């Protein structure tokens, strides 16, 4: 099983962006600095809500968009072997409260079988990961 982790927290840390802005707003925040008497502003930009993923294993491959925060994703999964096993994409979302939710794509079973999928991510999700599974 191969996992594709979306670098949501890492991207936010590198770009100095908070993972969530107050009340969902992407407006600039201004802080007064008492010791200098000046003010600075920091623009908080909304995080991307989808990332591409791609898997290529000997048993199967898949390509698509892993989305979160209520966005719609889609993709496909393809079985490469006639081994009486299926392949599918497993999506997992981390929610604002720390809980997780998951979803499995339709299974592609049998050599050269390809299945397309679409889904809507949970509205309160803050990150997503995609895995290519077989079984």
Of all residues in the chain, the percent with pLDDT exceeding 90 is 64
pTM of the predicted model as reported, rounded to 2 decimal places: 0.67
What pLDDT, in 10s, does the model give residues 18-62?
333 333 333 333 333 344 444 434 444 456 799 999 999 999 999
The pLDDT score that the predictor gives to residue 36 is: 42
| β-bridge mates for residue 31, sequence order | 40
Task: Please state, in angstroms and rounded to a whole number, the distance separating the CA atoms of residues 70 and 116.
Answer: 20
The pLDDT score that the predictor gives to residue 31 is: 36
Mean pLDDT computed over 101-126: 97
The pLDDT score that the predictor gives to residue 38 is: 40
Domains in the chain (CATH in brackets) are 2-7+49-134 (2.60.120.260)
Of all residues in the chain, the percent with pLDDT exceeding 70 is 65
| Helix, strand, coil % in the chain, rounded to nearest 5 | 5, 55, 40
The pLDDT score that the predictor gives to residue 79 is: 98
**CB of 4 within 8 A of CB of 53?**
yes
């Amino acid at each position: 099983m191969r996992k594709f982790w979306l670098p949501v927290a890492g991207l936010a840390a590198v770009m100095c962006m908070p993972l969530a802005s107050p009340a969902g707003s992407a407006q600039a925040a201004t802080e007064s600095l008492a010791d200098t008497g000046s003010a600075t502003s920091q623009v908080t930009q909304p995080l991307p809500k989808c990332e591409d993923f791609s898997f290529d294993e000997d048993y199967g491959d898949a390509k698509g968009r892993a989305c979160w925060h209520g966005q719609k994703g889609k993709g496909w999964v393809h079985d490469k072997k006639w081994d009486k096993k299926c392949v599918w994409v497993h999506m997992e979302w981390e929610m604002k409260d720390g809980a997780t939710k998951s979803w499995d794509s339709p299974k592609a079973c049998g050599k050269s079988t390809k299945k397309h999928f679409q889904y809507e991510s949970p509205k309160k999700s803050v990150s997503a990961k995609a895995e290519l599974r077989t079984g």
